């Protein structure tokens, strides 16, 4: 049930990219302005994830999870009903608050219930919901929005959130109360320069990764037009390739060291993005570009988390919370930077801007995270 809840939350986060043209037309704004729905959701998620975790630390995990899904569902219902652009923006912030609280709490709860021996497997099962939301949820939502209305997709997401509530409320033990570490406790890892350097690198990398994804409908418009079926096919392909990339990168991080994997993947992704403008004219070429970009984009996530956990093994929950905030800060910046690039240079310039950013992330990884003498693969992460 925790995994299903993460599936609902992830679908909400990913599906907007496939609905931008429809949302823009319905609300009488530009596609770039519609893209700011992604920005607002991501900023709200990044800011509220550690804050809400601290405020609800003394609650039972069951109460936190049910409350989070309630807030998430209400936020999406307001989005579906909102008559204008301003209220839609506000409702995205509300949905993000519920999403941020649910995802962080679901992962920690799975680890707590499973115990140390089964902790990794439990977290993997929960986070499978995020992967499947990209593979199935986002394309499904795009098809629903394209063939019915984008507001129907918002109702679909609200319904998915509600479906997870009964199982969590009935079956999850009402335990897990703790003590809030306070803002100072959450920010303690930021006194470590290596943590700060890794978070900065994460932001740079994921701005580059999410910029083409957010505006995928515009980048590949020469090949697919604005048809929902073709766009859903690209999103499904991206998600499947991303799932394989994530699994492969995790395996290689264990064998070769996470830092090496991040460098290799960001360099490869930079090449793919640089060549993407050559692949936007036909469906076969677009599919090749989407497969490669999806595979390498999700090849960053797991090894980067390995690296930050290795830096502060005694404060994993704190640094992973900060890592999630960095990722969603990057998502918000990608929406804003992509809008500027779209208006100033056109859609074909966005992959080139993304290539510059992921190349920069590779360089930062080399310069800021050099292996110190005596470190093994985990510490060198």
Q: Does the reported pTM lie above 0.95? A: no
Confidence of residue 378 (pLDDT cuts 50, 70, 90): very low
Percent of the chain with pLDDT over 70: 86
- Convert the pLDDT of each residue in 52-85 to its tens digit: 877 887 788 888 899 999 999 999 999 999 988 9
Percent of the chain with pLDDT over 90: 24
Provide the token pair at 181.
């570490």
Task: Please state, in angstroms and rounded to a whole number, the distance separating the CA atoms of residues 296 and 276.
Answer: 14
Comparing CA positions, the residue from 27, 17, 34 lying closest to residue 83 is: 27
| The residue count for the chain | 381
Span of 6-10, 84-88, 173-177, 228-232 with lowest mean pLDDT: 173-177
Task: Please state, in angstroms and rounded to a whole number, the distance separating the CA atoms of residues 377 and 215.
Answer: 36
The pLDDT assigned to 379 comes to: 42
The pLDDT assigned to 381 comes to: 47
How far out from the chain centre does Cα 120 lie?
20
- Convert the pLDDT of each residue in 322-377 to its tens digit: 777 888 788 778 877 888 888 888 888 899 999 999 999 999 999 875 644 333 44
Convert the chain into a string of H (helix), E (strand) and C (coil). CHHHHHHHHHHHHHHHHHHHHHHHHHHCCCHHHHCHHHHHHHHHHHHHHHHHHHHCCCCCHHHHHHHHHHHHHHHHHHHHHCCCHHHHHHHHHHHHHHHHHHHHHHHHHHHHHHCCCCHHHHHHHHHHHHHHHHHHHHHHHHHHHHHCCHHHHHHHHHHHHHHHHHHHHHHCCCCCCCCCCHHHHHHHHHHCHHHHHHHHHHHHHHHHHHHHHHCHHHHCHHHHCCCHHHHHHHHHHHHHHHHHHHHHHHHHHHHHCHHHHHHHHHHHHHHHHHHHHHHCCCHHHHHHHHHHHHHHHCCCHHHHHHHHHHHCHHHHHHHHHHHHHHHHHHHHHHHHHHHHHHHHHCHHHHHHHHHHHHHHHHHHHHHHCCCCCCCCCCCCC
Judged against a pLDDT cut of 80, whether residue 279 lies above it is answered with: yes
The pLDDT assigned to 80 comes to: 92
The pLDDT assigned to 318 comes to: 63
Confidence of residue 380 (pLDDT cuts 50, 70, 90): very low
Decide: 298 and 245 in contact? Cβ < 8 Å: yes
Structural domains of the chain sorted by starting position, each given as residue range(s) with its CATH number in brackets: 1-180 (1.20.1250.20), 182-381 (1.20.1250.20)
Judged against a pLDDT cut of 80, whether residue 37 lies above it is answered with: yes
Average pLDDT over residues 306-323: 67
Span of 132-146, 191-205, 333-347 with lowest mean pLDDT: 132-146
Average pLDDT of the chain is: 81
Phi and psi based region of residue 377 (left: phi greater than 0; alpha: psi -120 to 50; beta: remaining): alpha
């Amino acid at each position: 049930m925790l995994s299903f809840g993460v599936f609902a939350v992830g679908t909400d986060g990913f599906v907007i990219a496939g609905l931008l043209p429809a949302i823009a037309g319905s609300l009488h704004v530009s596609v770039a302005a519609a893209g700011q729905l992604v920005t607002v959701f991501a900023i709200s998620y990044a800011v509220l994830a550690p804050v809400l975790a601290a405020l609800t630390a003394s609650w039972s995990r069951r109460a936190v999870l049910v409350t989070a899904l309630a807030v998430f569902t209400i936020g999406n219902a307001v989005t579906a009903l909102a008559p204008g652009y301003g209220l839609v923006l506000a409702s995205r912030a509300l949905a993000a608050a519920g999403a941020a609280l649910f995802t962080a709490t679901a992962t920690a709860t799975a680890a707590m219930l499973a115990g140390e021996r089964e902790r990794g497997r439990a977290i993997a099962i929960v986070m499978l919901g995020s992967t499947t939301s990209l593979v199935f949820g986002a394309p499904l939502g795009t098809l629903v929005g394209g063939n019915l209305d984008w507001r129907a997709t918002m109702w679909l997401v609200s319904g998915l959130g509600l479906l997870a509530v009964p199982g969590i409320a009935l079956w999850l033990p009402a335990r897990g109360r703790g003590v809030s570490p306070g803002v100072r406790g959450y920010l303690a890892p930021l006194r470590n320069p290596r943590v700060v350097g890794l978070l900065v690198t994460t932001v740079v990398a994921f701005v580059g990764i999410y910029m083409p994804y957010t505006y995928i409908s515009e980048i590949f418009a020469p090949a697919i037009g604005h048809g929902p079926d073709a766009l859903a096919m690209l999103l499904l392909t991206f998600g499947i390739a991303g799932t394989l990339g994530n699994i492969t990168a995790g395996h290689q991080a264990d064998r070769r060291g996470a830092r090496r994997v991040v460098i290799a993947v960001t360099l490869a992704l930079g090449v793919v993005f640089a060549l993407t403008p050559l692949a936007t004219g036909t469906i076969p070429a677009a599919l090749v570009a989407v497969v490669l970009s999806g595979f390498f984009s999700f090849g960053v996530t797991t090894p980067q988390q390995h690296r930050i956990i290795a830096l502060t093994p005694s404060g994993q929950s704190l640094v992973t919370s900060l890592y999630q905030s960095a990722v969603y800060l990057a998502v918000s910046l990608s929406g804003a930077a992509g809008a500027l690039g779209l208006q100033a240079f056109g859609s074909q310039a966005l992959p080139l801007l993304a290539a510059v950013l992921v190349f920069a992330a590779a360089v930062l990884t080399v310069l800021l995270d050099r292996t110190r003498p005596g470190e093994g693969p985990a510490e060198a992460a």
